[in-house]
Structure 1
Amino acid sequence: MRKTLSLAIVLAGLAAAPAAAGDAEISAAQSTIDQQLQAFLADDEAAAYSLAAPSIKRMFPSVESFMAMVEGGYMPVRRPQSYAFGKTHELSPTSIIQQVLLVGPDGKNYEAVYTLELQEDGVFRITGCSLRASSALST
């Protein structure tokens, strides 16, 4: 009986370990998004750009080109009245998909779906964002 109990405790500990690691990774990815949204709100364009992954920086090689893209198609992300994290999907320990529910500057609801990848420096950076009008309730 004692060996069975010990084995059950070890197995329970192993089962809990990936969830704890996943929580830390999700929290780190959400922190990156939050930092970028706060940088947008503070008009700190360089800080917002610094949170983009290298693949995004190759497409938009300057802060100015990046901000032109954001302001041209992502105003709810650029100037949210409010935002809250929604569903998260961990594709792997280094790849996260994060839903963000936003109220845009126009007062309408939007859903942004971010993809993030863990970089060599240990920081999750944003690899993409899709935006669409949402029927979700405002937060």
Structure 2
Amino acid sequence: MAGAPLSGPAPGRVTSMRPCALAVLAFTMGLGVADAEPRPEVAEATVTVMRQLEAFRRDDFDAAYELASATIKEIFDRPTFETMVRRGYPEIARSVSAVVIEGDVGPDDHVYLRITIHGANGRSVDAIYDLVREGSQWRINGVVARPTTGTV
């Protein structure tokens, strides 16, 4: 993922309610540079990430796993995926809110999203998501998260 560009800030709050998330996403994507048309790939990929965060909030790791890429599924079976997320990404496993900071399509045609995620544990992470198109769907191909300086 190194070297993948991220440009055009798209600040906004996305909550766990899907209709609200889609409305906020549409508004958020419109806040970019005045001349720039938002890339539909970024909007579509963002919906995938928000669907996975919603699944984690419901403890529906089956649904969350379905949104992972084939590469991730080759590395982790379903139970191992759940353990990895719960232990390695507690803020993502149990988020209370997520803010899309920016997103772009890389030269490899992957979508890269930077999202600040606030966890139920009171901590926040900045997460870079890598999404790949599989057929007609965007799937999560990886995430790198680092703690933010603030807390909820």
Which residue, 96, 101, 115 being the options, matches 2:130?
115
Contact 1:25 1:93 in 2 (8 A): no
Change (3 A) 1:137 1:26: farther
The structure carrying a bigger helix percent of its residues is 1
Distance in 1, Cα, partners of 2:151 & 2:122: 12
The question of 1:95 aligning with 2:110 is answered yes
Aligned-pair RMSD on alpha carbons?
1.8
So what's the TM-score if we normalise by structure 1? 0.77
* Aligned twin of 1:131: 145
- Highest relative contact order (Cα 8 Å, sep 6+), 1 or 2? 2
The question of 1:48 aligning with 2:64 is answered yes
5+ residue gaps, structure 2, are 1-35
So what's the TM-score if we normalise by structure 2? 0.71
Q: Which has the larger radius of gyration?
A: 1
What is the identity, as a one-letter code, of the residue corresponding to 1:37?
Answer: L
Aligned structure 1 segments of 4 or more residues deviating by more than 3 angstroms: none
5+ residue gaps, structure 1, are 1-18
Contact 2:122 2:151 in 1 (8 A): no
Indicate the percent of aligned positions where both proteins have the same amino acid. 29
Aligned residues: 117
* Aligned twin of 2:18: none
What is the identity, as a one-letter code, of the residue corresponding to 2:124?
Answer: N
